[in-house]
């Protein structure tokens, strides 16, 4: 009978491990989607900065064009001034030239500033691009790692399912009733394990509540009592060591 309990406990360990692996696997699609979003954001950042630099360059070119046509206007005005005899006309033209010269002086400063700004932005861009590409590469690697992890989990899940089927077959042979109770309890309770032992001769090993009455199984063919508080199956056999193979180390948290 001890051996049968051992098998049931091994099954429980397999089931708990399976549950953990399935949970880990269920996170992978979200993880990959989040990585895709990050890759997209990095790409967007590069494109946005590229466009912004392009726009700034176009604006600077326009300013340069205005600046040159102003300069030409000043040169033409000065030439015309030399031939102007009428003092009223002369005054007006001279004022126009002076205004234009003030404007050109301001623009010249602004133009220089913009050109320097564009140059430094352009050289910073290559650093930004390099950093973003590095980040994208890192994210791609992580995506690949998640895919490999998924394959690895699939394999482990398949292997566990095979072990579970074999173990259930063994238990079913002589202790079908135990198996049914185990399955029902597993369905009913939220937190595994669903088979526990009596703790300190009087407490439920699952929920720690004191057990009422005499702790003995009513049926020698079914050496369990059901906890009134948490509904777990409490084995009244002395606590057994579970086969080392079954007490899985788990696959670690993938997040």
Least distance in Å: CB of 229 to Zn ion?
Answer: 5
Piece in contact with Zn ion (CB under 5 A), picked from 3-11, 158-166, 196-204, 210-218: 196-204
Strand order in 233-235's β-sheet?
203-204, 195-199, 233-235, 224-226
Q: DSSP of 153-190, one letter per residue? A: HHHHHHHHHHHHHHHHHHHHHHHHHHHHHHHHHHHH-S
Q: Is 246 in the site for Zn ion (CB under 5 A)?
A: no
Q: Do residues 136 and 43 make contact, with C-beta atoms less than 8 angstroms apart?
A: yes
Q: Cβ 46 to Zn ion, closest distance in Å?
A: 58
Which H/E stretch holds residue 125? Answer: helix 87-188
Half-sphere exposure of 253 (CA within 13 A, CB side): 1
**Binding status of residue 205 toward Zn ion by CB under 5 A:** no
Distance CA 173, CA 9 (A): 16
CA distance 54 to 124: 14
x-marked contacts with Zn ion along 164-183 as a string, rule CB under 5 A: --------------------
Q: Does 192 bind Zn ion (CB under 5 A)?
A: no
Total residues interacting with Zn ion, rule: CB under 5 A: 7
Two structure tokens written together for 145: 């790692």
Please select the residue that binds Zn ion; options are 7, 25, 35, 206, rule is CB under 5 A: 206
Least distance to Zn ion from the beta carbon of 209, Å? Answer: 5
Interacting residues with Zn ion between 211 and 230 (CB under 5 A): 227, 229-230
Q: Minimum CB separation from Zn ion for residue 196, in Å?
A: 7
Least Å distance, CB 206 to Zn ion, is 4
- Cβ proximity to Zn ion, 70 vs 229, nearer residue: 229
The residues near 128 (Cβ < 8 Å, ≥ 6 apart) are 45, 46, 49
- Interface with Zn ion includes 189 (CB under 5 A)? no
Binding site for Zn ion (CB under 5 A): 204, 206-207, 227, 229-230, 232
């Amino acid at each position: 009978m001890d051996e049968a309990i051992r098998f049931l406990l091994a099954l429980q360990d397999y089931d708990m491990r399976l549950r953990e692996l399935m949970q880990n696997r269920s996170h992978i699609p979200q993880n990959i989607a989040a990585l895709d979003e990050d890759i997209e954001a990095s790409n967007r950042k590069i494109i946005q900065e590229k466009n912004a630099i392009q726009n700034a360059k176009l604006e600077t070119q326009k300013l340069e064009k205005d600046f040159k046509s102003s300069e030409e206007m000043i040169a033409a005005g000065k030439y015309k001034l030399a031939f102007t005899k009428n003092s009223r006309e002369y005054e007006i033209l001279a004022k126009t030239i002076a205004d234009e010269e003030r404007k050109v002086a301001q623009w010249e400063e602004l133009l220089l500033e913009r050109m320097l700004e564009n140059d430094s932005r352009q050289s910073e861009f290559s650093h930004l691009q390099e950093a973003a590409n590095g980040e994208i590469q890192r994210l791609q690697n992580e995506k690949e790692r998640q895919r490999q992890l998924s394959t690895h989990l699939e394999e482990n899940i398949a292997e566990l399912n095979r072990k579970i089927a074999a173990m259930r077959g063994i238990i079913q042979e002589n202790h079908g009733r135990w198996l049914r109770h185990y399955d029902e309890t597993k369905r009913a309770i939220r937190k595994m394990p669903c088979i526990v032992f009596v703790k300190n001769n009087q407490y439920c090993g699952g929920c720690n509540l004191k057990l009422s009455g005499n702790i003995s199984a009513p049926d020698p063919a079914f050496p369990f009592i059901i906890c009134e508080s948490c509904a777990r199956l409490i084995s009244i056999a002395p606590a057994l060591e579970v086969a080392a193979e079954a007490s899985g180390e788990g696959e670690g948290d993938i997040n």
